[in-house]
Structure 1
């Protein structure tokens, strides 16, 4: 029997194949457009990197604060543990003294059974019983009173040390978290910079260098002798900071070869014989707050609403500061950042 199936038209088959191919190409093109957005240009990368640097510095200053608290707690705990150890020795001596009294009393035939209670494995049970104390001699009462006082002191010191150890544990966890947050932001910034071509990175570096030299020219125009009413130690701190121009910026660094912003301020004032705290948040309360019009060389200048950045005023509208990993320690116009207030140490 003859087949009635119609033969397939070659032209129609080719149209179907071409249509499917075109649709696939459109789909692939659309997918590629979503998966591979336009690469950010040099200026966009710079803006994003600067934002990441600010976020990293916020985490860094919180890291610095946690580190300072950790060091303080460690010192306090060490002192308390030393006090507890010495107190325990004193308590043992007092108990030995009381035991000697009891021995002497026993040999004399007048050993009081109540003293035996104090020398038992759990003498604390009886120390607060007035009826028992009334049965003892004056010297014994005095010795037991000292034991009581020493036991209470030791209990308080041990409780305080226990609380500080818990605080220390929490502080160490915060320290680790803030350090990781800062490192993550810096790594993200570096990854963005790595997307630039070698030529773009050179251009960015040249732009930063030109801006830095212009600001340095303004800062270096500051008179060698500060105004008569300027702080001598502020001028000395600024002079010390100038010796670190070009030094690297490293989160958490306090010098002498690398710094973060508050680390540079602390180091510079230390060279001037002045001790200041470690973070921007505490440095903001170190001295007298002043307005922009009152600034003199060496005064601290704070930036951003949360005060996460600080520098030293260098005169002529410039600050000398540990800027960021790209710029290091350099001069910069204070108009480049949102100025908040100055502080005179």
Structure 2
């Protein structure tokens, strides 16, 4: 599941986000993960295989939830970075404007000083040419008015400059918090996955062989011809939705990978994002964001192409393809596959 109108956003490119996510994944430590599974340190090597399977599945789903949080944070980071870049560009321009305004004020002040020192009425009385003096006085009044205007302009530029600097400082601090959150989210993903592996390692050799066989059979079933082409699927209500549905169908059997949005692998929201991108519709890489980027529809009105959001935390999403079926990327170790609409708790349905 996991990790993203036709709306232009300022998010980082998918390649940039994926590359960053990959780097974080490789760099993040996964220490202390055994503590995530109560009693794991004392797990019974002969534990019931079904119990282990259920716990491993739960850990995969928790990891997927953390991955979705990572994807959301990655989108937030891209938006914040764009905002900071814009503010910093404004600051550079405002500093230049302030410098020009201050230079102009200096020139005006010098001109006033050179003409000052004698009262205007006395200067008129002493002037050899009153008409000439009056012309000069009018010019100096204009200089004074221009000086006042320039002063006001400089003060406004300085006020905006200080405001932008404060905003940039706040946003830069938020950028760092978001980076820290992304690292923690990916650490959670890795820790959950390691805990699942540790749990599998408590199985006996025979149990592990049985588990691996079951997983292989499940994967083969999900990628079989029947899985790829279930019968009775209706057409989508419009051309764009049909493109999205067709794209999702074409991904059946591709592996789930945290943070992936194609072309060789997907997480849940990466799949829905890529499917609708093929139809020209942009959305966030994150199921909880996708849940509120489009109008909600009732289940009685659901149509092929709609996005189905699952669980109270909204950490999973699939695309409805009709006949009570969705296509989704479940979690690590699985592949893109069909599933019944109500195979998970539905909390929201939206229509891109």
Instruction: Give 2:161's match in structure 1, choosing from 114, 132, 154.
Output: 154
TM-fit CA distance, 1:105: 4.4
Instruction: Give 2:54's match in structure 1, choosing from 40, 47, 54.
Output: 47
Match for residue 59 of structure 1?
Answer: 66
Match for residue 87 of structure 1?
Answer: 94
Instruction: Give 1:169's match in structure 2, choosing from 168, 173, 176.
Output: 176
Match for residue 326 of structure 2?
Answer: 319
Deviates more, 1:293-302 or 1:69-78: 293-302
SS at match of 1:138: helix
- Quick one: structure 1 residues 172 and 220, their matched pair in 2 at CA, closer, same or farther if it must change by over 3 Å? farther
RMSD: 2.7
Match for residue 77 of structure 1?
Answer: 84
Q: Does residue 1:205 correspond to 2:228, yes or no?
A: no
TM-fit CA distance, 1:100: 2.5
TM-fit CA distance, 1:282: 1.7
TM score, norm. by length of structure 1:
0.75
Q: Structure 2 CA distance, aligned partners of 1:76 and 1:244? A: 35
TM-fit CA distance, 1:180: 0.7
Match for residue 285 of structure 2?
Answer: 278
- Quick one: structure 1 residues 215 and 84, their matched pair in 2 at CA, closer, same or farther if it must change by over 3 Å? farther
Deviates more, 1:276-285 or 1:184-193: 184-193
Deviates more, 1:294-303 or 1:248-257: 248-257
> What number of residue pairs does the alignment pair up?
286
TM-fit CA distance, 1:335: 3.4
Q: Structure 1 CA distance, aligned partners of 2:226 and 2:347? A: 20
SS at match of 1:275: coil
Superposition pairs for residues 172-191 of structure 1, below 5 Å? 172-191=179-198
Superposition pairs for residues 1-345 of structure 1, below 5 Å? 37-106=44-113, 108-110=114-116, 137-194=144-201, 195=203, 196-210=207-221, 213=224, 216=227, 219=230, 221-223=232-234, 225-226=235-236, 230-345=237-352
TM score, norm. by length of structure 2:
0.74
TM-fit CA distance, 1:38: 4.3
Query: After superposition, what is the alpha-carbon deviation per residue over 1:100-137, rounded to whole angstroms, capped at 9, x for unaligned?
Result: 2234445x54489xxxxxxxxxxxxxxxxxxxxx9x81
Q: Structure 1 CA distance, aligned partners of 2:224 and 2:311? A: 24
TM-fit CA distance, 1:281: 1.2
Q: Is the Cα contact below 8 Å between 1:70 and 1:168 reproduced in 2?
A: yes
Q: Which has the larger radius of gyration?
A: 1
In structure 2, list runs of 5 or more residues that go unmatched: 1-40, 119-140
TM-fit CA distance, 1:300: 0.7
- Quick one: structure 1 residues 344 and 275, their matched pair in 2 at CA, closer, same or farther if it must change by over 3 Å? same
